[in-house]
Each structure stands twice: as structure tokens, then as C-alpha cells.
Structure 1
Amino acid sequence: MGKKGFVYIAIAVFTVALLMLMQYNKPKEINWFPSYVEHHKIPYGTYVLNQVLINFFGDKVTQVRIPPFEFLTTNSDVEGTYFFVNDQIQFGETELNTLLDWTAQGNSLFMAARSFEEQLLDTLHIEIGTLYAGLGEDGQQWHKLVNPSLNQGSPYPFNKDSYAAYFEALDTLSTKVLGTVEIPSKSDSTQTAQFNVIKQKFGQGEIVLSLFPKAFTNYFILKEGNKEYAAGLLSYLNGSQTIYMDNHHKAGKAVFTSPMHIFLSAKELKWAYYTVLIGALFYVVFEGKRKQRAIPLIRPLKNQTLVFTRTIADMYFEKGERKQIAEHKMAYFMDYLRSHFYLDTQNRDEGFYANLASRSNHSLEEIKKLFNFMEKLKVRTEISDIELKKLNTQIEKFKAKANGRN
């Protein structure tokens, strides 16, 4: 590779390294996903909520990571408050009935979500409606607690949603309102606040429902002045009993489908993984060009003539057909004389013997002796092993002396 090629490679490596450095140092985007997971520190996680509960109630807080149905059916002695917070909570008929039966026995159910399933709404005789900000409005919401001892006067603002859920209909005889919500509008100065947090007796226990789950997120609690609203709602929990924090019905709970999640979840490991991939790509591209593909070894075809001849000879020998073997040997010998000494073997007279003797380094007597022996074998009907071996020996000796090896 020439000097110009190395320059191009250096430029490419520098560009890739610069892009990786810029990407690594780029400010991390804020994740606004409503996960509601206990250890998430993103805006809509509930890390702060769980820390507050631990500070308020200590070891009374228990984290539950299995479905409520499984938890309540396997632990018959469970008593206290079951706390749910998520964008949506959908239990299913069997699980909901289990929770309601457990609540009716004198326990508490605290649920914060923007919507609930129809079976729960029908059971509690309530309906849910939605408030929308008008066109051009900034989506501001005002949340307020009804209890005068918890109300600090001014409402608590929230401006991340353009709509808010409220209880459109409820059983006024058995329901107590705990909080309200209002979306102020410049065009409607007479707009009234709507109920969005209620408490209702259920059997021997009670159920608290909030349609504002983001009141328990990191973003809302840490926003200046809002922590009193979350603390006011948490004051309705019975601190003398165990509080079971649900971690199953969460939009952002971890579901690992691949081992690569470990690498890609950490920034340092993710970029180390990308660096290895890029390095492997450079190695394949440049190392592959430097080395030539291996040339396959093509072996020449073997000459199977000798093997074939030996096989045929063995067949004749095993059958005892020595006469045929001798005839083949003599026929091949005649072909050898024609191809090497260019003699006509049909007319074997004195001139033939003299020419063969002079060309093959043999005496005339040796030539006549060999041919007389072959003529003797031709007229024989049977040939012994000794005679066959003698014929082969004399022919081989003739060839050796003719080629100068004697």
C-alpha cells in the first residue's frame, strides 16, 4: 500500500474517532417515559416517592414484585395498605376480586392512575371524565387538596399535560373528596374545579383513588412547592400498618430479552462494544485485502494402468490359467520389441534375430534361446508355475540388459 493509501486510512480513523468522541460527550436527552418504577431517577420514575415513604414509615414499607393475586393468595396473613401507582392499572377480573375481598376485610387500597378498569368503576359506582385545555392554552393544571389543614392556599401547578382526568360521577353518600383539579382558561372565568382524588369505604376497609399519578413522580415532587401536595396525599396512609408497594403493574418494569441489554444499558460498555465492532470491521477490510485467498491444491490423476494389470493377473493366477498369462506376457513382450527397437515381429528369421541382438546388447545365442523357450511354451497346453516364473525372469533380464542396467 502506498503513502497515499495510508493518508486516507489515517483520515478515516481520525473521522470515526472524532464522531465517537462527539457522540460520547453529547448531553444525554431527558427520558420523559412514564415508568413509575421505584429505582428510576428519570422525571416520571418514583425513586423520590419510595425514599419519602421510607423516611416517613421506615421498615413498614415492603416492596412487592409479584402479581397481587399471587402475593395475596400465598400470604394469607397480609394486612395493611396496598399501594399502586402507574399510568394505567388493569388487574383483570380474578385479581381485582381478590384485591377487593382483601380490602373488605379491613385493609386499605391506594391506587393512583389516569384510568381504571370498568369493573372497578362499576363496583364503586363512579365514572371518569376528561378536562382539555382550549386551543392556544399552555396546558396548565391546578391541583388542590380539599382538607383545610392540608391546603396551603394556592393550588399546585402542573404544565406537562394538556388534559386531566376527573371523576364525572360518584356515590356522594359513601365517597369523600380529597383533591380537585382545574385547567384554567382565559376564555372561561367561571370554570370550576373537578374532583380527582376520592376516598370510599369498602366493607371494613377503604379505597383511595387518585387520577393524578404524576403527583408521585420525581418531577412533580421535586418541583418547588409541590412536595406538600404529595405529602398531603400520603398522610391518608395508615402509618401503623405495613404499606405494600406494588412493582408489578409498572409501565417501565424491566423485561430483559437479550444478554446485550447489560452492555447497551451502560454508556461506557455500549461504546466499548461499538469500538470492538468498528475495529473488527477495519481488520476484516484491510487484512482481507493484504492476504491472497489460498490456492487449492489439485492433485494429478493417478495412473491406474499398473493396478488394473496386476488385478487381472491375480485373477488369472488364482484360477490357475497359467497358459493365458504366458500368452499375455509374450504378446506384451512382442509389443515392447516393436515400440523400442522398431522391428517387425511377424517374420522371426535369422535377420530378425541378428538385428534384435545388435540393438539390445544381447548375443545372438541369447536371443535364440529366449525365443526358442517361448515357442516351446506356445505349443504346450499346460504350463507349470516354474515355467511361468522362468519366462517372466528371462523377459525381465532381457529388458534390463537392453536398457543398460546389466
Structure 2
Amino acid sequence: MNIASNIQKLWVFLMLCSVFSCDRTDWNENFKESSKSPFGTYIVYEEAEALFDSEVLSLDQNIYDYLFEEMHEDHFGNYICIKSDAEKLNTDGINYLLTYIERGNHALLSLNNFPPHLKDTLGITTTNLDFYEYTPVALKALDGRLQLKDEAFNTQTYTYDRNIRRHYFETYNSNTSVVLGTVEVDGEQKPNFLKIYYGEGTILLHATPIVFTNFNLLNGREAYAAHVLSYLPDNPIVWDPQIKSSQYSETPEKPQDSMFVFFLKHPSLTWFLMVSLFGLLLFMLFNARRKQRAIPIIKPLENSTVAFAQTISNLYLKEADHKNLVDKKITYFLEKVREQYLINTSNLNREFIETLALKSNNDFTSTKYLINTIIALNKKTECTDVELLVLNNMIDKFFKT
């Protein structure tokens, strides 16, 4: 994949922009696809379609939501994420993405910091000796030399004069991983570019995303970035700009400390907690003597089931609160699924639909339509009586199969 001619055109364009611009140059690493600043990724994103001779889809939603809603049967092609951190790629998103890679898709993740769940799943560990360097002045002093292992590239050394962190892979599974490139750290070559075989697909992990930014592509170093991208096949591209969190995933992005842990972090609150517990124990100790209580007169219970049911039905009929009844029907359905089929209903994804259809002896299409209807009605603030009736009939038909 040769990008030299297109890079030269963009070079002239950006030079003209810089001449007529009155703003100071922004040397912060933003990795934004729309940014023409030195450390944006405008050029590589604009050239992706020409590089792979395929369509490039820029996600306007979380990758988990995209895969969940589209319900792809086989392939989406190549997934590319070039960022400092993949904060929006949480545990559920990683698991879902790996499922599609296992079916024969491919992914390139070039990050300064890889998600812990991804590293645990793939069996890798990383070391970033410059993790705490983040200001433009401190990063400017970080020069480095990169190499690619493939003989086709003649083991050429690519020299960079700024923002090259000493970030590399410390351990990896040699049975499923191949080292494609290295970074020089204190005179030694450390792996910073891995190819990991995962099922029928592959995952490319690259630890130096700065090489894909505008600054390095406009200073005669575009060959290295092109060589790295050449390891992906010429398939359609799903480009992840990391702009949205998932609206379906229930995995928290950052775990919260409990209130008890918060109390223990502060000495004054810890003493307050201890004194309160001691006072409670004293209260229970001095009030533990047996007291005689009056024996209440217990009247026999009246059978008011029918009257209660009529009262409730009249109340809902008068209020026309169809949304409330829809929510109760959905709760009843999910509870019965948990009890009858022993299925976890926390994630109503494709795996859940397939399992439910199999265990309930329903066909996949009708089960998928029922679950999608439940998801759609859950999002609504109001429902009509027709929607309530349709949902009720679908649930009754599901359990009668």
C-alpha cells in the first residue's frame, strides 16, 4: 500500500492551513480523526479508504452497540482503533469484539494503554516506562527507533525525534503470537508490535500509536505506518473514534469504592464508625432482657382476592397507565425465563437470544423479534394499549410453544 503521493498532497494542504492560521500550534496528543494538529489522525483516516481499497465506516456509536444492533452473521472486515486509551471499550465490548474476530475478522489496536481485560484475555502484559509523561514539553524529549521484523522491509530502522514512549509487551503467548516489530529501549529491542491469532481471525496490537499522527506522516516517516497497516487484509474498515459509551452494556467503566471502604480511608470517619458500632452493641446488651408482650387478637383472614383484582383492574383502566403494565409484563417475562430456563437476563444480546430460543423450543426469528420488542418498549416513556396487547400476545404465544 503506497501512500506517498496522497501524503504529499495533504502536506501542501496542511502547510497552507498553517500559514494562514492565526492560532498557535497545538502539540497535545489528541488522536482525533478530524484534527489537523500535529498529533491528530486526520491524514491516516482520510487515506484509509485508498490504502485498503475498501469502504471505511466511522462508528458514531459504541462498537458493542454496533455489533449488537446490526446482528452480523459472519464478517464486518477490519476493526481499527488508534488512540491513547480505549476508554469506551469496556469488558462487554471486548468480549463481543473478540467473538467476531474468532469468526474470521481482524483488528488493529494501537494504544498507549491497553484495557486490562483485553490483556488478561489475550495473556499479555505491558511495560510503559514513560507512563507518567504527558506534557508536550516532557514528551518532546522522548526520541526512539522502531523496526519491523519482516524481511520484506529489510529490517530498516525508523527514527523518531519526539513523543516515542518506551512502551512494549513484556510477556505474551509465543504459541499464538508473532512479534512483528520492536522499539529500542536502553539499547535493547523490545516487542512493540504483535500479531495474535485468535480463532479464525487475527489481532494486531501496536504500542506506539504516535506513528500514525499527522506530524509523523508529513515528515518522511509514512512508510512505517503504511507497513504496519499492510498486515491487515483489504477488507471493509470499521474505524472506532471512541466517541460514545455503550447504551446496552452494564459493565461499569470505572469501579466505585463502597461506602464502607470510603469510611476506612479517613481516620476521623473510621473512629466515628467504631464508636457507633460500640454504642449499638451497648444498647443491645442493656435491652436484651425479656419483656412480656400483649397477646394480640388475630382475626381470620378474609378471602378478598377477587375484590382486590377488580379494584386493581379498575384502577389501571381508569388511569390508562399502559407503560406501567408493559413494564410489569416485561418483568414477569424475564423472571419466568430465569426460573424456568435458568438463563441470565442481564444482557439481552445475541447469545442470550440463541440460548433462549434453544431452551424454549421456539424458533430464533420469533424469539429475536420478542426480545427486540422488549428492548424498544423499555426505552419508551409511554406506551399505547395496542403495544400492550401485542406484547401480551407475544409473551403468551412464546410460553405456549
Task: Provide TM-score, normalisation by structure 1.
Answer: 0.50
Q: How does 1:18-167 map to 2 (within 5 A)?
A: 27-77=22-72, 78-90=75-87, 91-131=89-129, 138-151=141-154, 153=156, 155-161=157-163, 163-167=165-169
Q: 1:26 to 1:214 in 2, by over 3 A?
A: closer
Conservation of the 8 A alpha-carbon contact between 1:64 and 1:244:
yes
> What CA distance in whole angstroms lies between the structure 1 residues aligned with 2:86 and 2:63?
12
Question: How many equivalent pairs are there?
Answer: 216
Larger radius of gyration: 1
Alignment of 1:179-218 (within 5 A): 179-183=181-185, 191-218=187-214
Alpha-carbon distance, 1:96 to partner: 1.2
Q: CA deviation at 1:159?
A: 2.6
Q: Is the 8 A contact 2:86 2:242 kept in 1?
A: no
Is this contact kept in 1: 2:76–2:238, CA < 8 A? no
Aligned to 2:3: none
Equivalent in the alignment of 2:229: 234
CA RMSD of aligned residues (A): 2.5
Structure 1 pair 79–221 and aligned structure 2 pair: CA distance change class (3 A): same
Q: Note the alpha carbon deviations across 1:126-146, whole angstroms, 9 max, x for none.
A: 11013469x9x9532001111
**TM-score, structure 2 length as denominator?**
0.50
SS in 2 for 1:96: helix
CA contact (8 A) 1:105 1:203 kept: yes
> Per-residue deviation at 1:26?
9.3
Question: How far has the Cα of 1:60 moved from its partner?
Answer: 2.3
Shift of 1:59: 4.0
* Counterparts of 1:129 and 1:67, CA distance in 2: 28
SS of residue paired to 1:79? coil
| Equivalent-residue separation in structure 2 for 1:218 and 1:194 (angstroms) | 25
Pairwise CA distance, 1:162:
6.5
| Paired residue secondary structure (1:163) | coil
Deviations 1:211-263 (A, max 9, x none): 01111111111112x11100000101110x2111112259xxxxxxxxxxxxx
Q: Which runs of 5+ in 1 are unaligned?
A: 1-24, 185-190, 251-406
Change (3 A) 1:180 1:162: closer
Change (3 A) 1:192 1:106: same
Equivalent AA in structure 1 for residue 150 of structure 2? N
| Greater mean alpha carbon deviation, residues 157-166 or residues 106-115 | 157-166
Task: Measure, in 1, the Cα distance between the counterparts of 2:192 and 2:179.
Answer: 8
Per the TM alignment, residue 92 of structure 1 is displaced from its structure 2 partner at its CA by 1.4
1:248 equivalent in structure 2: 242
CA contact (8 A) 1:140 1:161 kept: yes
1:48-79, Cα deviation, whole Å (9 max, x unpaired): 10222122234422221210011111112352
Contact kept in structure 2, 1:141 and 1:182, CA below 8 Å: yes
Question: Are residues 148 and 249 of structure 1, via their aligned partners in 2, closer, same or farther at CA, if it must alter by over 3 Å?
Answer: farther
CA distance in 1, matches of 2:68, 2:22: 47
Q: Matched residue of 2:159: which SS?
A: strand
Which residue pairs with 1:178 in the alignment?
A: 180
Counterpart code for 2:67: L
Matched to 1:42, the amino acid is S
Decide whether aligned partners of structure 1 residues 31 and 122 sit closer, same or farther in structure 2, where only a CA change above 3 A counts.
same
* Residue segments in structure 2 that go unaligned for 5+ positions in a row: 1-19, 132-137, 245-401
Deviation at 1:105, TM superposition (A): 1.2
How high is the sequence identity, in percent, across the aligned residues?
Answer: 27
Contact 2:169/2:192, CA 8 A, preserved across alignment = yes
User: Which residue pairs with 1:221 in the alignment?
Assistant: 217
Any conservation in 2 of the 1:38–1:46 contact (CA below 8 Å)? yes
Distance 1:246 1:138, change over 3 A: closer
